[in-house]
């Protein structure tokens, strides 16, 4: 800016200079013409030149008018008294005079011969009736120099004001800029802090989810961490039930949930579409029926992994920001994976603990379960009952009706057992056509009662497979209880087994207890004989 001012001052000075010189020259020409007109009109002799110069000088006071002969001797001068003209210096050597002699007009800018003042000189050679000579007009540059000085002063003043203004402006701008930079930095730092916290929370969520063994644990982790990740955006997690016909809200955050707590799958557009659904966007306003009571915008994101959708993540807000949306998708991805992993774990556990044909727990699981029951029983002095069940003449049955029919019978017996034991009882398939039931807290009478009931149910069941009647199916059952018939799992199973073999030996379709055997000890030989029969 200051450079601009200096430059404009320089340009102005040049322009002013030129304008002044042009104006001065025009005036000088006019004065020369007037002088020459006077000389010609009165046919002035050399002696009258002094008078003409004096008279014109009286009117044009700011100019000096000089008339010389061709040799440069002054004949008249508006600034020299008439009497002193003759003693005045010869002007023949002056540049404007010699130029006028040569070229008619002569021009020079420089000091005058009297005072040394800076002047503009214009000289013209003339030829009048009675005389020849040179008229010279000198104009002082003082006015111009004064004007330039004033201009310089003015511009310096303006420059100082502008400079001060600029400095003040710059200072204000700098202050504003640094406060804006500080604010931006603060915002950036807070954004980085919240992003870092979000990442840390996400990592925590992922590691905790990976360690979850049950859906309850997953729910607890969600309830604790997801609201922290999504800030103050209200939301919920819902899961599809085992029958896959209902969606149930399992966790909510940031106030009471405005949507339905349980709703059919078809009430969610996201589940229908198989991808996220935003209730209001620039293209449509399709609110999921389960969110009909909510006045907010809602996004439903399926929790899916390995091609299976297990639930949904919902968030609601007046305006859902892109950042919240993105983080919700990341959370949904991790939740989907965690739920799928849990499902997989459950299936693997079931595969490891359950028998695929009957759906009953296997022998290995029975050993684990019984070990726990034994510990409980020993610590709290409580008992439990065991039933060992074997289908009678199953080999013969298979041989008669085929292996498929045998499988059907085993699966159906398992189903009958499952539906007719208490909630706390557990049924196992020990191998082949042999089943076992463990009855927590049951004494021998209750255990026997259960065995008799099951034996009766199977015996009276109407067995039909592929339209073919299978006749009667019977079972032999042995019962024993802890602690009466043994102190270890092995001992109790053995006691129940001995009772079962005795039931077989006594004609099958019977339920016997180890207690009965204690009163009537079995013959081991008999059992061996019995096993050898088939």
Q: Which is nearer to ligand GTP, 121 or 394 (CB)?
A: 394
Given a contact cutoff of 8 angstroms between Cβ atoms, the answer to whether 262 and 343 are in contact is no
Binding-site size, ligand GTP (CB under 6 A):
18
Q: Which is nearer to ligand GTP, 131 or 358 (CB)?
A: 358
CB of 370 to ligand GTP, least distance (A): 22
Q: Which is nearer to ligand GTP, 123 or 388 (CB)?
A: 388
Q: Judged by CB under 6 A, does residue 497 bind ligand GTP?
A: no
Stretch that binds ligand GTP, among 49-57, 206-214, 330-338, 393-401 (CB under 6 A): 393-401
Q: Which long-range contacts (CB under 8 A, 24 or more apart) does 209-213 make?
A: 209/334, 209/335, 209/337, 209/338, 210/338, 210/341, 212/338, 212/342, 213/342, 213/345
Q: Which of 358, 233, 238 is nearest to 296 (CA)?
A: 233
Given a contact cutoff of 8 angstroms between Cβ atoms, the answer to whether 99 and 75 are in contact is no
CB of 375 to ligand GTP, least distance (A): 32
Backbone angles phi, psi at 326, to 5 degrees: -65, -45
Stretch that binds ligand GTP, among 161-169, 271-279, 399-407, 414-422 (CB under 6 A): 399-407
CB of 504 to ligand GTP, least distance (A): 5
Backbone angles phi, psi at 438, to 5 degrees: -110, 125
Length of the chain: 534
Q: Which is nearer to ligand GTP, 311 or 406 (CB)?
A: 406
Stretch that binds ligand GTP, among 43-51, 147-155, 274-282, 385-393 (CB under 6 A): 385-393
- Identify the residue among 48, 96, 373, 392 touching ligand GTP (CB under 6 A): 392
Task: Name the DSSP class of 522.
Answer: P
CB of 480 to ligand GTP, least distance (A): 19
Q: Enumerate residues 317-376 that contact ligand GTP by CB under 6 A.
A: 357
Task: Name the DSSP class of 189.
Answer: H
CB of 479 to ligand GTP, least distance (A): 17
User: Taking CB positions, which residue lies at the least distance from ligand GTP?
Assistant: 406
Q: Which is nearer to ligand GTP, 260 or 392 (CB)?
A: 392
Q: Enumerate residues 404-423 that contact ligand GTP by CB under 6 A.
A: 406-407, 410
CB of 429 to ligand GTP, least distance (A): 9
- Describe the crossing of helices 444-460 and 403-420 by its angle, rounded to 10 degrees: 140
CA dist., res. 426 & res. 348, Å (int): 19
The two structure tokens encoding residue 273? 């579409």
CA dist., res. 43 & res. 66, Å (int): 17
**Would you give the binding string for ligand GTP spanning residues 426-445, x where CB under 6 A is met?**
------xx------------
CB of 415 to ligand GTP, least distance (A): 15
- Identify the residue among 120, 320, 504, 514 touching ligand GTP (CB under 6 A): 504
Handedness of CA 299, 305, 308, 311 (dihedral sign): negative
Stretch that binds ligand GTP, among 317-325, 366-374, 401-409, 509-517 (CB under 6 A): 401-409
Q: Which is nearer to ligand GTP, 277 or 429 (CB)?
A: 429
What percentage of the chain's residues is helix, strand, coil (to nearest 5)? 55, 20, 25
User: In sequence order, which ranges of 43-68 are alpha helices (DSSP H)?
Assistant: 49-59
Max distance between CA atoms of the chain, in angstroms, equals 184
User: In sequence order, which ranges of 361-440 are alpha helices (DSSP H)?
Assistant: 363-380, 394-401, 403-420
Stretch that binds ligand GTP, among 23-31, 255-263, 366-374, 384-392 (CB under 6 A): 384-392
Q: Judged by CB under 6 A, does residue 108 bind ligand GTP?
A: no
Q: Judged by CB under 6 A, does residue 217 bind ligand GTP?
A: no
Stretch that binds ligand GTP, among 206-214, 257-265, 305-313, 403-411 (CB under 6 A): 403-411
- The number of beta carbons lying within 10 Å of the beta carbon of residue 389 is 28
- Identify the residue among 41, 102, 152, 403 touching ligand GTP (CB under 6 A): 403
Report the SS3 class of residue 283.
coil
Given a contact cutoff of 8 angstroms between Cβ atoms, the answer to whether 226 and 237 are in contact is yes
Backbone angles phi, psi at 511, to 5 degrees: -120, 115
312 vs 241, 293, 462, CA distance in Å? Answer: 12, 18, 45
Stretch that binds ligand GTP, among 41-49, 60-68, 69-77, 386-394 (CB under 6 A): 386-394
CA dist., res. 253 & res. 239, Å (int): 16
Provide the CA 326 distance to its chain's centre, in angstroms.
Answer: 6
Q: Enumerate residues 506-525 that contact ligand GTP by CB under 6 A.
A: 508
Stretch that binds ligand GTP, among 67-75, 201-209, 218-226, 394-402 (CB under 6 A): 394-402
Strands 361-362 and 426-431: parallel
Given a contact cutoff of 8 angstroms between Cβ atoms, the answer to whether 104 and 124 are in contact is yes
CB of 404 to ligand GTP, least distance (A): 7
CA dist., res. 240 & res. 173, Å (int): 60
The binding site for ligand GTP (CB under 6 A) comprises 357, 390-396, 398, 403, 406-407, 410, 432-433, 504, 508, 534
């Amino acid at each position: 800016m200051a450079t601009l001012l200096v430059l404009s001052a320089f340009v102005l000075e040049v322009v002013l200079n030129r304008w002044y010189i042009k104006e001065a020259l025009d005036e000088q020409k006019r004065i020369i013409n007037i002088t020459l007109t006077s000389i010609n009109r009165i046919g002035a002799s050399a002696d009258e030149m002094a008078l003409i110069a004096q008279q014109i000088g009286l009117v044009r006071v700011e100019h000096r008018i000089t008339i010389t002969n061709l040799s440069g001797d002054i004949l008249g001068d508006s600034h020299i008294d008439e009497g002193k003209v003759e003693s005045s210096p010869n002007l023949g050597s002056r540049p404007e005079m010699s130029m006028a002699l040569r070229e008619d007009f002569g021009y020079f800018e420089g000091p005058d011969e009297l005072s040394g003042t800076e002047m503009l000189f214009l000289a013209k050679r003339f030829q009048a009736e009675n005389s020849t000579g040179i008229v010279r007009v000198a104009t002082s540059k003082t006015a111009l120099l004064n004007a330039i000085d004033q201009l310089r002063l003015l511009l310096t003043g303006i420059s100082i004001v502008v400079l001060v203004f600029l400095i003040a402006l710059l200072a204000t701008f700098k202050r504003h800029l640094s406060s804006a930079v500080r604010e931006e930095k603060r915002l950036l730092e807070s954004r980085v802090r919240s992003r870092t916290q979000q990442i840390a929370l996400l990592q925590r969520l992922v590691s905790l989810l990976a360690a979850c063994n049950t859906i309850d644990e997953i729910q607890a982790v969600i309830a604790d961490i997801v609201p922290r990740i999504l800030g103050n955006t209200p939301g919920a997690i819902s899961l599809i039930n085992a029958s896959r016909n209902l969606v149930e809200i399992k966790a909510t955050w940031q106030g009471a949930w405005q949507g339905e707590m349980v709703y059919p799958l078809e009430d969610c557009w996201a589940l229908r579409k198989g991808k996220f659904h935003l209730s209001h966007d620039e293209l449509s306003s399709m609110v999921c029926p389960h969110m009909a009571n909510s006045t907010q915008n809602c996004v439903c994101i399926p929790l899916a992994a390995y091609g299976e959708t297990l639930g949904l993540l919902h968030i609601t807000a007046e305006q859902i920001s892109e950042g919240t949306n993105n983080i919700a998708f990341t959370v949904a991805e991790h939740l989907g994976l965690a739920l799928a992993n849990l499902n997989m774990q459950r299936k693997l556990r079931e595969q490891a603990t359950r028998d695929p044909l009957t759906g009953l727990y296997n022998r290995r699981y029975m050993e684990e379960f019984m070990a726990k029951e034994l510990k409980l029983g020993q610590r709290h002095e409580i008992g439990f009952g065991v039933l060992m069940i074997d289908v009678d003449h199953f080999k013969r049955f298979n041989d008669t009706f085929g292996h498929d029919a045998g499988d059907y019978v085993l699966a159906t017996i398992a189903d009958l057992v499952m539906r007719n034991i208490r909630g706390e009882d557990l049924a196992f398939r020990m191998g082949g056509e042999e089943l076992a039931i463990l009855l927590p807290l049951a004494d021998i009478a209750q255990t026997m009662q259960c065995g008799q009931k099951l034996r009766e149910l199977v015996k009276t069941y109407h067995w039909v497979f592929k339209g073919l009647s299978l006749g009667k199916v019977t079972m032999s059952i042995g019962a024993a209880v802890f602690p009466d018939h043994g102190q270890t799992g092995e001992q109790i199973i053995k006691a129940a087994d001995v009772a079962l073999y005795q039931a077989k030996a006594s004609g099958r379709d019977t339920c016997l207890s180890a207690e009965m055997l204690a009163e009537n000890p079995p013959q081991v030989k008999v059992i061996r004989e019995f096993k050898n029969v088939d």
